[in-house]
Amino acid sequence: MIVVTNSALSDLQESDLELQRPRATLVEIAADKLREFILLEKLPPGATISERDVAAALGISRTPLRGALTLLEQDGLVEYSVTRRPRVADPSLEEVAENLVVMGALEALGGELACVNATDSEVKNIVSLQQKMAAGADTLEPLDFFRTDMTMHQSIIKASGNRALIETHARYNARLWRARFVSSRRSDGREQTLAEHAAIVDALSRRDAKATAGALREHLRSAVTNISVALEERRAAQQKE
Amino acid sequence: MIVVTNSALSDLQESDLELQRPRATLVEIAADKLREFILLEKLPPGATISERDVAAALGISRTPLRGALTLLEQDGLVEYSVTRRPRVADPSLEEVAENLVVMGALEALGGELACVNATDSEVKNIVSLQQKMAAGADTLEPLDFFRTDMTMHQSIIKASGNRALIETHARYNARLWRARFVSSRRSDGREQTLAEHAAIVDALSRRDAKATAGALREHLRSAVTNISVALEERRAAQQKE
DNA sequence: GCCGAAAATTTGGTATTCCAAAATTCCAAA
DNA sequence: TTTGGAATTTTGGAATACCAAATTTTCGGC
């Protein structure tokens, strides 16, 4: 087994002056890795997770792995069966939709607060993200386009200055990442995405809280529709295989 | 040390037909107990938590206790210092206010959805909770009055039928319980509480989504004010001791 | 008496171990 | 061949053991 010492990992984190943050534990490192595996479907939805196997695969013992699983359960990426066997969550379309509704309310609030609290440079940064997406509408790789999209949403929430909101939003982001990514690959959706983003950014630039919140709510509402379509298509395609 | 076997606990849970839910683990049991301790200030804000001592006090080993602490950290009731020593969270007034703002958005959404999705019996139940509070305005013990208040809010959220919302709301509830309880003890606030509740229940009965959301938002906004006052008073009082 | 360094102790992180519950395999009876 | 159940294996829950880091205590020099 590979033993990962703290010192061997130190160059990955504690860079610069960020000595405020507690040093990373194996639990967090494992959670990050697992999160990535799940989002990239290296661990596919519904897959059972054998604590011993996965721990061995990550080169750690079961103790920190179990901690990581608890974390991911909170994020909604891992579920426990009635007999407490952990598996990768496989949310139904209905559940994804329910999560998106909450996400919509969170982002609307974020936009509203951002209109009041964002610094000018934060607004400028958000505008530039939107421009980047518009400019690359025909050229950007799906993953890049998507990442920029996500970054823009996160930036708005960050600009709200509300830490609780930022944290809860991040949690929903993790939970919805996969579904939204699948949806975003439908390239014909880019046009709509950009139009909606334009409305959001426009309202935010004018610091019109009501309009920003409304535009974000609208954007998330259409996300529900798009994701429904995409997941259905996907399910149909997988059925054929 | 007292060894708590699963069978010794079995009569506490697996009652009736609820065999769907995974059986309780020591982690959950410990988390529940600790949550109670923290909310009742048996473990006061800012207190450091020695894993060994607390585990021994609960009659369990460190392993499940650590799991419980992870859970409570997610709920915002426990924090880790830079050197990873766990302590009871002691949120600043500012943090409480930020959480209440998010809570406001969540409850507004819940009210909106409840207007659409609540069954008539759910609405009736919420109305009766409101009546119970109104009737007992002068007689109910602070804790009972408060509990009914909380139950009413939870019932509205439950009636929304959105599981993600229910879960996230519960988390915020845990986080804010103490601050709201302190605030609710200011008996002069009962009148205002009841008036605001009346507005909420009235709108909900008419299934007026906009009005319900608005009334809840307003209610939470005033909660921010009240809690600020209450916590300030409390701080001043403690300073004198 | 005060300060700082070194020793002792306490604390949290992780691995290992043991156990009971669950799942699987296997085999004999129908 | 099918099936019921006993035997076996696998799995997760929890306790314990061990280590390194952090904290506290001790004590010698000033």
Q: Do B82 and A163 touch (CB under 8 A)?
A: no
The answer, for B148 touching chain A at a CB cutoff of 8 Å, is no
What pLDDT score was predicted for residue B105?
Answer: 98
Minimal CA separation from B221 to chain A, in Å: 14
Element (H, E) at B91: none
Q: CA(A181)–C1'(D13) in Å? A: 36
The nucleotide lying nearest B82 (C-alpha to C1') is D22
The answer, for A168 touching chain B at a CB cutoff of 8 Å, is yes
Query: Mean pLDDT, to the nearest integer, of A175-191?
Result: 84
Query: Minimal CA–CA distance to A175: which of A74, A94, A43, A82?
Result: A74
User: Rounded distance, CA A210 to CA B195, Å?
Assistant: 27
Query: Mean pLDDT, to the nearest integer, of A9-31?
Result: 60
What pLDDT score was predicted for residue B61?
Answer: 96
What pLDDT score was predicted for residue A229?
Answer: 83
Query: Mean pLDDT, to the nearest integer, of A156-166?
Result: 98
Query: Mean pLDDT, to the nearest integer, of A188-212?
Result: 93
The nucleotide lying nearest B25 (C-alpha to C1') is D13
For A92-128, how does the pLDDT look when each residue is reduced to its tens digit (9 = 90+)? 999 999 999 999 999 999 999 999 999 999 999 999 9
What pLDDT score was predicted for residue B232?
Answer: 77
CB B25 within 7 Å, strand D? yes
The answer, for A186 touching chain B at a CB cutoff of 8 Å, is no
**A59's tokens:** 């080169």
What pLDDT score was predicted for residue B152?
Answer: 96
For B115-137, how does the pLDDT look when each residue is reduced to its tens digit (9 = 90+)? 999 999 999 999 999 999 999 98
Query: Mean pLDDT, to the nearest integer, of A213-235?
Result: 88
The residue to which tokens 């609405």 are assigned:
B123
Query: Mean pLDDT, to the nearest integer, of A80-95?
Result: 94
How confident is residue A240, by pLDDT bands cut at 50, 70 and 90? low
Q: Which residues in chain B are contacts of A105 at CB distance < 8 A? A: 105-106, 108-109
Footprint of strand C on the protein (CB under 7 A): A 1, 3-4, 25-27, 60-64, 67, 81, 83, 85; B 6-7, 23, 48-53, 62-63, 66, 80, 84-86
Minimal CA separation from A105 to chain B, in Å: 7
Q: Which is more confident, B23 or A134?
A: A134
Q: CA(A85)–C1'(C15) in Å? A: 22
Q: CA(A233)–C1'(C27) in Å? A: 47
For B224-236, how does the pLDDT look when each residue is reduced to its tens digit (9 = 90+)? 888 888 877 777 7
The sign of the CA dihedral A134, A136, A139, A143 is: negative
Torsion, Cα A122 A127 A130 A131, to 10 degrees, reads: -130
**B112's tokens:** 């909106």
How confident is residue A20, by pLDDT bands cut at 50, 70 and 90? low
Weakest mean pLDDT among A151-160, B11-20, B85-94: B11-20
Type of residue found at B209: A
The residue to which tokens 């409101």 are assigned:
B130
How confident is residue A167, by pLDDT bands cut at 50, 70 and 90? very high
Element (H, E) at B88: strand B86-88
For B145-183, how does the pLDDT look when each residue is reduced to its tens digit (9 = 90+)? 999 999 999 999 999 999 999 999 999 999 999 999 888
Chain A segment 187-216 residues within 8 A of B by beta carbon are: none
Provide φ and ψ at B116, rounded to 5°: -85, -40
pLDDT at B199 over 90: yes
User: Rounded distance, CA B47 to CA B33, Å?
Assistant: 16
What pLDDT score was predicted for residue A233?
Answer: 80
Assign 3-state DSSP to chain A and report helix, strand, coil percentages, each to 5.
75, 5, 25
Interface test with A, best of B98, B106, B117 (most A CBs within 10 A): B98
The nucleotide lying nearest B6 (C-alpha to C1') is C20
Asked if residue B70 lies in contact with residue B62, where contact means CB atoms within 8 angstroms, the answer is no
For B20-67, how does the pLDDT look when each residue is reduced to its tens digit (9 = 90+)? 566 689 999 999 999 999 998 999 999 999 999 999 999 999 999 999
Q: Do A163 and B95 touch (CB under 8 A)?
A: yes
Pairs across A and B, CB distance < 8 A: 80
Asked if residue A190 lies in contact with residue A145, where contact means CB atoms within 8 angstroms, the answer is yes
CB A51 within 7 Å, strand D? yes
Weakest mean pLDDT among A100-114, A117-131, A214-228, B200-214: A214-228
Q: Do B71 and A71 touch (CB under 8 A)?
A: no
Question: How much is the mean pLDDT over chain A?
Answer: 88
What pLDDT score was predicted for residue B1?
Answer: 33
How confident is residue A1, by pLDDT bands cut at 50, 70 and 90? very low
The nucleotide lying nearest A85 (C-alpha to C1') is D12
For B132-142, how does the pLDDT look when each residue is reduced to its tens digit (9 = 90+)? 999 998 898 88
Minimal CA separation from B105 to chain A, in Å: 7
Weakest mean pLDDT among A66-70, A139-143, A155-159: A139-143
- Across-strand partners of B86? B80
